[in-house]
């Protein structure tokens, strides 16, 4: 009985696009807007930054809405402190690294912003059913990506990729914002909970991702969708047929036309072999630390780009959450990050199906993206996805542990 109550309400209540409850969707939208970049190629380096202050105000408003939302009795009963402790440890190491390496103020400011964002996510996951949280996040991402794409559609003619106009979203960011609802819709379709309209929405959303030209984003998304398909125990025949037709079509287009090759190479083989010049920054990152303190605890979250020796530039973004962590929080913080991610995946995989499939897919999506893109542990959409999925996983596992139905209990 306890297990059944823990899983209510039913899975089909997860929606990819909804405005209910409005306060939750508004909170998620404010968090998303505060997490994406408002300026291209600019990073916070200390001092009074108007953009950072404005983002902090939006996050504070979101926290206020979440805090004032009524919570039912015992709402905090199933909360696990582990995700907050992992994050607090990571942020503490980043602050120590910033202070030790004379970059303390930016490190403290960015750590506080990330802590405030995490606090808002804790509040909404405590206050609302997990299905509503996933639905609201998906809706907020679609609204933000849609508005940014519409206002920035002219970028297709200028660069061949879809960038945001207002706000100036990076093409990879649009890809991630759309990938979240795609995973939700595909999961619903596999479990038989999606309507015909929701299933049909997958095609235009994948089209938007294609227009962004995000090779990493699309590749990781396809891997996650393939794993979802394989891991789902019972898939309806129409869905199996649709996936087979789509996969066959993709293989034929790849083999018989130049479109996929042109998409992957963007006209040059060098971009593929150097991972779009990422390896240049990674090579420089290996020799960046010049003291034991930098090696152990890093230089703080403000470190976003490092000096490089390359043609036409002397600095470059790190473009990898894992490489960034190595420089921002050092070896100690990187170990914490790895353990945190492994703990999140472990708890996601302990959930009953189909919840296990969705939560694990979301954690895996941003974890794999973090290899070639930054933001997994920063004020960014990737962190919002990761931390929310982790909170949901821990919250759903708690009733199972109390009921004695976890692994190794013999029940």
Q: Which of 44, 84, 96 is nearest to 333 (CA)?
A: 96
Q: What is the pLDDT of residues 175-202, one digit of tens each?
A: 999 999 999 999 999 988 888 899 999 9
Q: How big is the chain by its Cα radius of gyration, in Å?
A: 21
* Contact between 29 and 138 (Cβ < 8 Å): no
- Rounded CA separation 183/10 (Å): 18
| Vertex 132 angle, CA 350 and 30, to 5° | 115
Question: 37-48 burial, b if ≥16 CB within 10 A, otherwise e?
Answer: bbeeeeebeeee
Query: Residue holding tokens 């403000």?
Result: 302
Q: In degrees rounded to 5, what are phi and psi of residue 49?
A: -105, 120
pLDDT at 5: 35
Can you give the pLDDT at residue 12? Answer: 42
Residues 6+ apart with CB under 8 A from 243: 229
SS3 287: coil
Name the DSSP class of 312: T
Q: How confident is the prediction along the chain (411 residues), in pLDDT tens digits per residue?
A: 333 334 433 444 788 888 889 999 999 999 999 999 888 767 776 666 788 889 989 999 999 999 999 988 877 877 788 999 999 999 999 999 999 886 778 889 899 999 999 999 999 999 999 999 999 999 999 999 999 999 999 999 888 899 999 999 999 999 999 999 999 999 999 988 888 899 999 999 999 999 999 989 999 999 999 999 999 888 888 888 888 888 888 888 777 777 777 777 665 555 555 566 677 777 777 778 788 888 999 988 988 888 776 666 667 777 888 988 999 999 999 999 999 999 999 999 999 888 999 999 999 999 999 988 888 989 999 999 999 999 999 998 866 666 555 544 433
Return the structure tokens found at 196.
Answer: 């015909």
- pTM for the structure as a whole: 0.91
Token reading at 154: 């002219």
For residue 313, give the DSSP letter: E
Find where tokens 């912003």 sit. Answer: 113
The DSSP result for 74-135, as a single string, is: TTTTT--SHHHHHHHHHHHHHHHHHHHTT-HHHHHHHHHHHHHHHHHHHHHHHHS-HHHHHH
């Amino acid at each position: 009985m306890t297990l059944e109550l823990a899983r209510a309400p039913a899975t089909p209540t997860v929606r990819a696009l909804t405005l209910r409850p409005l306060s939750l969707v508004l909170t998620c939208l404010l968090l998303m807007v505060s997490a994406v970049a408002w300026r291209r190629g600019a990073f916070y380096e200390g001092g009074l930054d108007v953009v950072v202050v404005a983002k902090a105000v939006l996050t504070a408003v979101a926290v206020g809405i979440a805090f004032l939302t009524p919570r039912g009795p015992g709402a905090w009963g199933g909360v696990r402190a582990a995700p907050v402790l992992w994050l607090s440890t990571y942020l503490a190491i980043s602050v120590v690294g910033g202070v030790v390496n004379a970059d303390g103020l930016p490190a403290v400011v960015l750590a506080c912003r990330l802590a405030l964002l995490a606090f808002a996510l804790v509040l909404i996951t405590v206050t609302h059913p997990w299905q509503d949280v996933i639905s609201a996040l998906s809706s907020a991402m679609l609204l933000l990506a849609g508005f940014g794409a519409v206002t920035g559609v002219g970028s297709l003619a200028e660069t061949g990729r879809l960038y945001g106009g207002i706000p100036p979203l990076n093409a990879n960011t649009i890809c991630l914002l759309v990938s979240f609802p795609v995973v939700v819709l595909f999961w619903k379709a596999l479990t038989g909970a999606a309507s015909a309209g929701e299933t049909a929405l997958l095609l235009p959303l994948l089209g938007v991702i294609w227009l962004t030209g995000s090779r990493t984003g699309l590749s990781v998304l396809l891997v996650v969708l393939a794993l979802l398909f394989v891991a789902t125990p019972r898939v309806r025949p129409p869905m199996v047929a649709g996936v087979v037709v789509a996969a066959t079509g993709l293989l034929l287009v790849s083999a018989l036309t130049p479109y996929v090759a042109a998409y992957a190479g963007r006209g040059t083989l060098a971009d593929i072999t150097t991972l779009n010049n990422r390896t240049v920054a990674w090579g420089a990152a290996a020799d960046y630390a010049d003291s034991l303190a930098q090696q152990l605890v890093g230089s703080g979250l403000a470190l976003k780009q490092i000096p490089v020796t390359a043609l036409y530039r002397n600095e470059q973004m790190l473009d990898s959450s894992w490489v960034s962590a190595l420089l921002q929080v050092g070896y100690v913080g990187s170990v914490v990050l790895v353990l945190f991610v492994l703990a999140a995946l472990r708890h996601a995989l302990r959930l009953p199906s189909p919840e296990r499939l969705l939560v694990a897919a979301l954690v895996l999506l941003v974890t794999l993206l973090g290899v070639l893109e930054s933001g997994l542990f920063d004020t960014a959409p990737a962190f919002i996805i990761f931390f929310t999925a982790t909170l949901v996983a821990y919250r759903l596992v708690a009733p199972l542990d109390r009921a004695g139905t976890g692994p190794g209990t013999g029940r």
